[in-house]
Amino acid sequence: MSKSDDKMIGAVLVQGGGIAGVQASLDLANSGFKVYLLERDAAIGGMMAHLDKTFPTGDCATCIVSPKLVECARNLNVEILTLSELTGLQGKPGHFKATVRRFPRYVDEHKCTGCSECTQVCPVDIPDEFNRCLGTRKGIAKLYAQATPNIFGILKQGHAPCKVKCPAKVNVQGYVQLIKKKEYLKAVNLVRQRNPLSAICGRICTHPCESVCTRGKADDPIAIRLLKRFASDKEIEMLEAGKLALPEERTPAPGAKKVAVIGAGPAGLTAAGDLADAGFAVTLHEALSAAGGMLRWGIPEYRLPKKILDHEIELIRRKGVKFVYNSRVGRDITFQSLRDDYDAVFLSAGAQKSRKLRIEGEQINGVLHGVEFLRDAASAAKPAVKDRVVVIGGGNVAVDVARTALRLGARRVEMVCLEQRDEMPAYKEEIEATLAENITIRNGWGPKRITGNGSVTGLELKRCTRVFDEQKRFSPVFDENDLATLEADQIIVAIGQMVDEQLTGHIQAQSERGCFRTDPVTGQTSIQGLFAGGDNASGPASVIDAVAAGKRAAESIERYLTGKDLLPGRFESTVNPMPDELLPSTGKIARMDRPQPKELAPANRLKNFEEVEKGLTEEQAVAEAERCLNCALCSECNRCVETCQQHAIDHAMKERTLTLDVGAVILTPGFKEFDAKRKGEFGYGRYPNVVTSVQFERMLSAAGPFEGHVIRLSDGRKARRIAWIQCVGSRDSACSNGYCSSICCMMATKQAMVAGDHVEGLDATIFYMDIRAHGKDFDQYYERAKAQKNIHFVKSIPSRIIQVPGSNDLRVHFLDADSRLQQQDFDLIVLSVGMEPPEAMARRASSLEIRLNDFGFCHTDRLSPLSTSRPGVFVGGAFQEPKDIPETVTQASAAASMAMELLAPARNTLITKKSYPVEHDVTDEQPRLGVFVCHCGMNIGSVVDVERVVESIANQPDVVLATHTMFTCSDTSLSNIKESIREHRLNRVVVASCTPRTHEPLFRETLREAGLNPHLFEMANIRDQCSWVHSAAPQSATEKAVELVKMAIARARMLSPLEGGTLQVDQTGLVIGGGLSGMTAALALANQGFPVHLVEQTNRLGGTLHDICGTLEHPDLTQFTSALIRQVEQHPNIKLYLETEISGIKGHVGKFLLTLAKDGRQLEVSGGAIIVATGARQAKTSDFMYGRSEGVLTQIELERLLHDRAYPAKGQNIVMIQCVGSRNDQHPFCSRICCSMAVRNALAIKKQDPAANVFVLYRDIRTYGFRELYYQQAREAGVVFIRYAPEAPPEVRDDHGLLVALKSPDFPEPLRIETDTLVLSTGIEADLKNNKRISDMLKVPLNADGFYVEAHTKLRPVDFATEGVFLCGLAHSPKFIDENISQARAAAARAATVLSKTQLDVSAQVSYVNQQKCISCMTCVTVCPYSAPFCNKDGKGQIEAAKCMGCGICAAECPARAIQLHHFETDQFLVMIRQLFAGKDGELSPVGHLARGTPPSEGSGQDPELLTDDRPEENLLERV
Amino acid sequence: MRYAYFPGCSAESTARDMHQSTLAVARALGIDLVEPKGWTCCGATAGHQTDHFLAVSLPAANMAKVRDMNLDMVVSCAACFNRMKVANHEIAAHPATRKQVGEALERDYDGSVKVRHFLEVLLDDVGLKAISRAVKHSLNGLKVACYYGCLLVRPPKILKFDDPENPMSLDRLVEAIGGQSLDWPCKVECCGGGLSLSRTDVVVQLTDSILDMACRAGADCVAVSCPLCQVNLDLRQQDIRKQTGRNHQMPILYITQLVGLCLGIRRDELGFEKLMVPASTVLEKVAAN
């Protein structure tokens, strides 16, 4: 191996763009690694983006997650690959080759600006998976409103059955959708792309499409043929009304290759048109005097008016096709001359001869044949028709013949055919029309003999007993003894057609069964350059088959003439059927009638050939198009393609595979919700008012399908009585999900609380097994919910739900507290669906060589919770074990820390740092403003008159350039801005477009690239604040836009360049606390190469870990503990301080100073980041005779005895009491670990002596996640779990032996247990004194229970609000060993984002104190959440820029107005306000005279007030 | 279409109407039903509750007889159907059981006889289309609440008959003969058949709630295919009236009776006179067309 091979790759692949993937990516990218973030969906955000609110703070989930997503998208070192999946992984840790499959978005990510115009024109409405099918979305859409990346995408999985079934592959769904949107011309054009005979097929197509229409499974198939007819007729109507002109006539270019088409039937017309479109010189030779073939000569005019036929032939002629009539091969031209004169020939002469019966009497005068009869009928010389006509045959031609004969004057027409009525080959509607015209049909008879003497007198029939054999082949069997006779003057035989044998005689291509033999795919014959299609190649078939043959031949001939291969990549091979399982379900569709077109009354039909069937009315057509279910999702109608001005849409995009070189992989694919349909007893999918918990989140969400209204789906009524059913698909071995999903209890509790704000008079009931509120501060939230009068918690899982007929109310059957069967009715039921592993991982695990556990989650060990079975591949989030948001975020950071340790040598090797040109100094320049007003396509432009806005502001002072752009954020426009800055020497830029939230960074970046300070930029939001909110009032919206832009201009003139500073980072870690968490965090940093000072107040490492003998999975932890301690002690990067107290903390992120006190000596150490891991301790109790009776132990004491095999369990009665000293007024929190500990000890006792009786007295058993399995094991082992109510705790007495008395809500009688050993689960408590001391020094908060408070419970679980200080372990809250390990590593990863940098940028947008105005009140010091202000040596307030977060609270609170926030200075806002009111009431003058340029700097003495005018601000603001 | 037809004990007693109508419908549709000679109890009585071995070997004894006939076994009683299927499953899945049963029967039986409910024959072999075609009198939009009970569909993994929560077989058949099948919530609720004699009070409660739902859904009648359900729902209406005062007057018909009626079979051949709650409303409605 060469040396370069040996270098680790400093890049990490993260699979899964939920909050875990996003957090891991940010931590890695911010500490010097390149990240590929893969997401299977079209946008990142995962489940969190679906949630409405998060508890306990009631934050909007989207609002807190969006900034993270945007941060991810903006980070130069995070490459987001959406619609991507990791499918293979080769190599070893540090050197992986990852295979990534990228699914097509059909939208170019780099071109799409997110303007949403495509979605506005998209006609397709499909169920919105994001909203869990509670609403619809468009075929082209963003995954959700705030999606990152902010671009659109199209959903496609295959083509609709109608298109697949159509021989010509006409995009049926597409034109049906366009008709729905009344885009009739576009619809016809779409049809004509695959079928030039739109109006014709709209009348006479056999519509195989309708036979496979998915809608047909629910009620009736869509009337596709009639819709096509409707749109085509609209076109003709417009032509006739002069609203539309025929297309220009074209002529082929001189020298174009020549093609001859023989026969102007549907196949010939189609091929000729296509070939002319392709630029060839096409000549169409037709044997008869007019074009159309069977369309003209075979189909009677009452079905297909000649006008329609002529119209579509004319359209083809105008493409440049030359028609030569009366030109029959063999008669008027020779085949040889065709071969000589043309480069290619297409034979489409049809099957023009009638088949003969070959029975006695067929030659008698008065026996006619169908094709010839119809041809004559279509010509000027109508054939003579006798009184009594019998037609032989049961196909469409026979029907046409019969009906034509009637119209030509026959008095009685009878049909005879072999087939039974339902076997007849003619279409049902044709047969019905025939019967309606009083034509009789004799089914099941065959002709035996035609009688007559010179002229026909009748027909002898024999009974046909069977038409088809078992193989469905035509093989009639007759009963020669069952005969009948019919009288007739005329007999017309219409039993089929055949190709004229003369034609095949002239052309010596191979033939079989009388037809030309062709390649089924290409239509090529045995002769080079000769192609054949339509009836003369296939035998008699339908019009649409002929069209398809014409299309195929044209494609072949074009390829043939341009020298291309005929076979590969043909159009038809691109049409793939939608998989059946993805087709829309038809179970729940409301029946809607298919329209019946008007018809000419039978009485009026017989006198003439007037068209019988009338088309649909517009109303009918649009309503019918609405019935389409959009099987293929995207209809490929191309409206988006036409509309997109960025040309971003490409329907032909293909799936791609990439290979990425990465050093490590982190799997954060999240979870899949349990499919509630699997619990059939709850009626999900059957009863409309049963929804899942995720659907309910979407319901609550203001951005959801019901805008936050909680309704019954059955009738839209407000849902007032709502029930939650917990553990649907969790803790349920019956559906193989024995584990607990951990999050549902709190989710339901939160949902009930939030629903209370949405629903007046809410009556909520939560049916549960145990309420698992085991997280930090969760129990307090649960208690608050319980205290609500309208939220009821019922410990019972309902047996079933039925829907009360008539009302759609849901009746829940459950056992009440007294074990009595109860029924209660609700409006809405929410099923709290559990978590299952993501499907993709089940598929991919083996190729990634990742071991899964029995449930399909990632297999991990409790002592290394972030490592998969494959080295170098790490895991985080719900895929590892069901968990909530804070734990997911924690694990994500922890997994990032694992990757950092592995790849530490490769840190900073692959990251991109952007360099910018030197900033142009604008200090002494007069402002020169460039203003760019954005149309945002139609988004702004359709409401706001953008050009007027530009005109109105062009003459504002200092504006040197005012212009408008279609999409200001597109790459081209950004280049233009840069160019303009140079050309016009702009030194301020204003963009009026969308929101600064998403776009300001982009424009600031552009300024930097052009050499301008990014703070010289200002933005006006004329989309959200004008075009969106005032879309109904364009006039006012425009005026408002003008005002907003003027205000922005006014402010921009006041802007000044700001320089953020940098500060040097001391790349050393400081860890306080030497327990499991402190040691783990210290090692995680040390392994990355950072020196660490680890401070421990006791005389040994290990902390409370020494008290724990083992866990459920690892009975003995001694080895683990000692190995960990040894590693820390021996690590060269760790400097250990035992028996050392912290006596002082100073400094800020990048440079902290700890003063250590050891043995009375003081010592100072410094570092760039601090990790607080000070732990907690086992709670003490004196309840339940503890300390007074020998038989009373704590769980830890019992565990020690069991571990040391010192506990005599033999035949004993053991009682465990849970929640001793927890979940009460003194300790309102849950200690999280005690239930599992009790289960573990109980199992150990049972193992030691199965005869021992173990009773666990509990309130809720909180064995969440996979720990639930041990709870199940314990019950199976015979451990007895008895519930007690907190208001009636067990009573313990010791009179000659312990006695536990209890009144359980689950037992009718009081219980008394003679007890040998009583075990108390006393839980964990904070070390209040120590925590108080440290938190004071760090200026970080503690909660009411004495635990440290993190910066944000959900998304910053290991950060403090103070930059550079992090938190982990029991000091945060009670938790298990694996959770402590994760949290410690997470803290290390977060610290590494600081320590990995040599210097930190300090934001320029910080506050500063005007020292002259400061009155030393120190309000700023009190109000700042980040401890940035301090009292300086002059006794004045001063702000530590490194700590300032730019929130502006101090500036707002400062009573002396001594504080200003850079870039948000008072004068900058005052000019905006003045601008707004300038000239309005004559009092406030325009602001043109105001001073500009240099801003006041700290201590410069300039007073912002002096810059405006003498008037005190108060007065000014009062006016406002 | 030829099958070995196992009538079961109720076919000769409480459910003679089921038996009669099954045979009549079979005749009308060209289904040939042959009774195995010397058939015995299927074990659905006290047998399967008291002795697991008996519960398997009794049905096995009957199926072994059918094995020799080389025909599929058709059953019309849901309880018999359930016992046969479960026994087949036990024997096929557990070699030890097979051996034990073999010893008792003095012959080996491998659990391979295909056991089918008469409904399956109608739906799959005859087909709904053929039945529709054969209908002489449509049900004329009669509102039918199809009631499956428990034995036909549970345990689903063994019986593999239909969706255990929302079965549709009967409903499809009802639609095919011109009835309107109702979407109602008690298709598979327990009727209390197993407690019919021992805890009549419970049965009254259960049947009352089922019938109440059928009434609310607007049913003209309830269609069943299990003799235990039929007896329970039909017979207990009297007790319900006595105990609660509610008079449901809901006719409880075998599906075969409804199908037979539509095929134009005479009422006396279909056992209509055996119903406790007379089906006069149903008969009037069908007669109306």
Which of A291, A281, A294, A284 is closest to A347 using CA atoms? A284
pLDDT band at B288 (very low <50, low <70, confident <90, very high): low
Q: Using the predicted structure, report yes or no on whether residue A445 has a pLDDT greater than 50.
A: yes
Alpha-carbon Rg for chain B in angstroms: 19
Distance CA B84, CA B158 (A): 10
Q: Please give the radius of gyration of chain A, using alpha carbons only, rounded to the nearest integer.
A: 41
| Residue B50 exposed, middle or buried by CB count within 10 Å (0-12, 13-18, 19+) | exposed
Q: How far apart are CA A730 and CA A505, in angstroms?
A: 76
Q: Do A680 and B184 touch (CB under 8 A)?
A: no
Q: Between residues A606 and A1206, which one has the greater pLDDT? A: A1206
pLDDT at residue A1 in the model: 42
Mean pLDDT of chain B: 92
- The 8-class DSSP code of residue A858 comes to B
CB-CB under 8 Å, A680 with B165: yes
Q: Which of A826, A744, A817, A753 is nearest to A788 (CA)?
A: A753
Contact B163 A805 (CB under 8 A): no
Residue whose C-alpha is closest to residue A1444's, from A1470, A1478, A1407: A1407
For residue A782, pLDDT over 80 is answered with: yes
Q: Give CA–CA dist A826/A807, Å, rounded.
A: 11
Tell the burial category of A1401 from Cβ atoms under 10 Å away from its Cβ (0-12, 13-18, 19+): exposed
pLDDT for A506: 86
Contact A686 B216 (CB under 8 A): no
Neighbours of A1200 (CB within 10 A): 16
Contact between A124 and A629 under an 8 Å Cβ cutoff? The reply is no
Nearest CB to B216: which of A680, A683, A806?
Answer: A806
A585 DSSP assignment: P
Chain A within 8 Å of B168 (Cβ-Cβ)? no
Question: Across the interface, do A805 and B185 touch by the CB < 8 Å criterion?
Answer: yes
Say if CB A1336 and CB A1142 are below 8 A apart.
Answer: no
Q: If 0-12 CB within 10 Å is exposed, 13-18 middle and 19+ buried, where does residue B102 land?
A: middle
Concatenating the DSSP letter of every residue in A939-998 gives TTTTTS-HHHHHHHHTTSTTEEEEEEES-TTSHHHHHHHHHHHHHTT--EEEEEES-HHH
Report the residue of A686, A799, A807, A825 to disrupt the B interface, i.e. the one with the largest count of B CBs within 10 Å.
A686
Distance of CA A1482 to the CA centre of its chain: 54
SS3 percent helix, strand, coil of chain A, rounded to 5, is 30, 25, 45
Q: What is the reported pLDDT for A1517?
A: 40
pLDDT tier at A55 (50, 70, 90 boundaries)?
confident
- DSSP summary character for residue A1463: T
Cβ <8 Å between A686 and B165: yes
pLDDT at A1520: 33
Residue B258 has pLDDT above 80, yes or no: yes
Exposure string (b/e) for A1160-1187, b if CB count within 10 Å is 16 or more?
eeeeebebbbbbbbbbbebbebeebbbe
- Give the best-scoring range by mean pLDDT among A826-830, A924-928, B237-241: A826-830
Q: How far is A561 from chain B, CA to nearest CA, in Å?
A: 53
What is the rounded CA–CA span in Å between residue A644 and residue A648?
7
The angle, 0 to 180 degrees and rounded to 10, between the axes of the packed helices A946-953 and A1034-1054 is: 40
Q: Considering chain A, what percentage of its residues have pLDDT values greater than 70?
A: 97
User: A19: which 2 tokens?
Assistant: 């909050």
Q: Which of B163, B182, B186 sits opposite A802 (nearest CB)?
A: B186
Given a contact cutoff of 8 angstroms between Cβ atoms, the answer to whether A1291 and A1301 are in contact is yes
**β-strand pairing of A281-285 with A322-324:** parallel
Residue A861 CB neighbours (<10 A): 12
Chain A to chain B Cβ contacts (< 8 Å):
27
Query: CB distance from B165 to chain A under 8 Å?
Result: yes
Q: Which of B163, B166, B217 sits opposite A805 (nearest CB)?
A: B217
The whole-chain average pLDDT of chain A stands at 92
Q: Which residues contact A1491 (CB under 8 A, 6 or more apart)?
A: A1507
pLDDT digits (tens, 9 = 90+) for A865-902: 999 999 999 999 999 999 999 999 999 999 999 999 99
Residue A1515 predicted with pLDDT over 50: no
What one-letter code names the amino acid at A689?
N
A1480 band by pLDDT with thresholds 50, 70 and 90:
low
A391 vs A416: CA distance, rounded Å = 6
| pLDDT over threshold 90, residue A219 | no
Determine whether the interchain pair B164/A804 forms a contact, defined as Cβ–Cβ distance below 8 Å.
Answer: no
Render pLDDT for A634-668 as a digit per residue (tens, 0 to 9): 999 999 999 999 999 999 999 999 999 999 999 99
The pLDDT of A1384-1400, averaged and rounded, is 97
Which pLDDT score is estimated for A601?
A: 85
pLDDT score recorded for residue A1494: 41
Tell me the nearest-neighbour CA distance from B79 into chain A, angstroms.
22
For chain A, how long is the longest CA-to-CA vector?
A: 140
- The shortest C-alpha distance from A686 to chain B (Å) reads 8
Instruction: Name the pLDDT band for A1489 (thresholds 50, 70, 90).
Output: very low
B/e letters for A266-299, b = 16+ CB within 10 Å, e = fewer, are: bbbbbbbbbbbbbbbbbbbbbbbebbbbbbbbbb
Summarize pLDDT for A989-1038 with one digit per residue, the tens.
999 998 887 788 889 999 999 999 999 999 999 998 999 899 899 999 99
What pLDDT score was predicted for residue A1481?
52
In the chain, the amino acid numbered A883 is: K
Record the tokens describing residue B224, joined without a space.
């069943």
Token pair 């040109």: residue: A917
Q: Do A805 and B164 touch (CB under 8 A)?
A: no
Residue A552 confidence (pLDDT) above 80:
yes
Instruction: Give yes or no for a contact between B173 and B131, defined as CB atoms under 8 angstroms apart.
Output: yes
Q: What is the pLDDT of residue A1486?
A: 42
Angstrom distance (rounded) from CA A685 to CA A677? 6
Could you list the beta-strand ranges (E) of A521-569: 530-532
Which chain B residues are Cβ-neighbours of A811 within 8 angstroms?
185
CA distance A1345 to A1231: 11
Q: What is the pLDDT of residues A179-190, one digit of tens each?
A: 999 999 999 999
The percentage of residues in chain A with a pLDDT greater than 90, rounded to a whole number, is 79
What pLDDT is stored for residue A938 in this prediction? 78
Q: Give the pLDDT confidence of A1434-1448 residue by residue, as tens digits.
A: 999 999 988 898 999
Q: What is the pLDDT of residues A920-960, one digit of tens each?
A: 999 889 999 999 999 987 789 989 999 999 999 999 999 99
Cβ contact A1095:A1101 at 8 Å: no
- Single-letter residue type at A1164: E
Nearest to A488 by CA among A591, A617, A388, A619: A388
CB contact under 8 A, B164 and A680: yes
Closest partner residue to A680 among B166, B182, B213, by Cβ? Answer: B166
**pLDDT for res A453:** 84
Q: How far is CA B74 from CA A837, B100, B221, in A?
A: 43, 25, 26
Q: Using pLDDT thresholds of 50, 70 and 90, give the confidence band for residue A1355.
A: very high
B210 contacts chain A (CB < 8 A): no
Phi, psi (deg, nearest 5) at residue B14: -65, -25
* Per-residue model confidence (pLDDT) at position A1484: 43
Residue B116, helix vs strand vs coil: strand
Q: What distance in Å separates the CA atoms of residue A107 and residue A867, rounded to the nearest whole number?
A: 37
Chain A contact present for B202, CB below 8 A: no
- Decide the pairing of beta strands A1062-1064 and A1069-1072: unpaired
